[in-house]
Amino acid sequence: MTGRFLPWTAGPAAWNMAVDEALLTSYLQGTAPVTLRFYGWDPPALSLGYLQAPLSAARQARCRQAGVEWVRRPTGGRAVFHQHEITYALVTGEREGFSGSVLADYQKIGLGLQRGFALLGLTVEMVSGLRCGKGVRSEDCFAAPSWYELTYQGKKLVGSAQLRRGKALLQHGSILLTYDPWFWQEVWREEARLEAAETAAVPEKVIGLKEAFGALPDPPVVIAALRQGLSEVLGINWEEGSLTAEERRLAARLQREKYANADWNNRRGRREVAGGGICPARKEGASG
């Protein structure tokens, strides 16, 4: 089986989310194969889960002052601050044997990522029980792992979220290069409820590749290993490609009309579309 691999790019928050959705749409239309891409965020950005409350006026002001963009993801889960990381996105579906079971598909993708880390010499564990939200009040995605997310020495290394549309899925996630609590301590925290103990405890539950390896790994080497791991587990031969002209047009429209639009970013999604019983998963109806 052959899939498309899109090389590393870095872009603004609205563009990143628009491209992910455009890839999902083209896959659903049958005009694109299973696609894997890796990307970064420039400038640094906060992404909110689809069902999260919008940012308060005070948080918006602090984000602007700090030069941090914000965007509402099409996927579920908690907030993620994107700066020192590699983000992956995989668009696939029933054609590649993804059954429609959220847990089974999370596990399959998680095994591919786990294999990739093993190729780097890093033994990571896969969480086998749902801990998302249990006893954790922090709105930081990395405060607790969920089903089949990856940890190292008990600390969360990868946070993922998923959108299911028809017989296709988009799963994207944050792979930490290093964890810097600055955003959560200085920008996110509300003055009226400091939650200092909870904020201070999050770094003890998180780890980046720099801390795991003892030195910052070369991102292209990490990407190559993860690409190979996903190839071995999913049985897909990745061939380098690029966005089609139609995908670029659709992404530009989604960026302009949706992900850069305050009407999208400053509202909370409808709970009835959340699916799977998994906090980072979201399922839409046939209409999308």
Residue ranges of the chain with pLDDT lower than 50?
Answer: 132-137, 140, 143, 192, 194, 197-198, 200-201, 272-279, 285-288
pLDDT of residue 226: 98
Kindly tell me the burial class for residue 4, based on how many C-beta atoms sit within 10 Å of its own C-beta (0-12, 13-18, 19 or more). Answer: buried
* Maximum Cα interatomic distance, the chain, rounded to a whole number of Å: 54
pLDDT confidence of residue 145: 55
pLDDT score of 285? 47
Q: Which of 178, 1, 216, 196 is nearest to 81 (CA)?
A: 178
User: Alpha-carbon distance 166 to 169, whole Å?
Assistant: 8
Count of positions (residues) in the chain: 288
Domain ranges of the chain: 2-284
pLDDT in tens, 227-263: 999 999 999 999 999 999 999 999 999 999 999 999 9
CATH class held by domain 2-284: alpha beta
pLDDT for position 149: 85
> What was the pLDDT predicted at 268?
80
The DSSP H or E segment spanning 250 is helix 245-254
The pLDDT of residue 270 = 67
Residues catalogued as catalytic: 141
Whole-angstrom distance, CA of residue 282 vs CA of residue 75:
6
Cα separation, 77 vs 25, whole angstroms: 21
Q: Which pLDDT score, from 0 to 100, does residue 286 have? A: 33
pLDDT at 278: 40
Nearest to 40 by CA among 67, 70, 73, 7: 7
- Which pLDDT score, from 0 to 100, does residue 273 have? 37
pLDDT of res. 281: 65
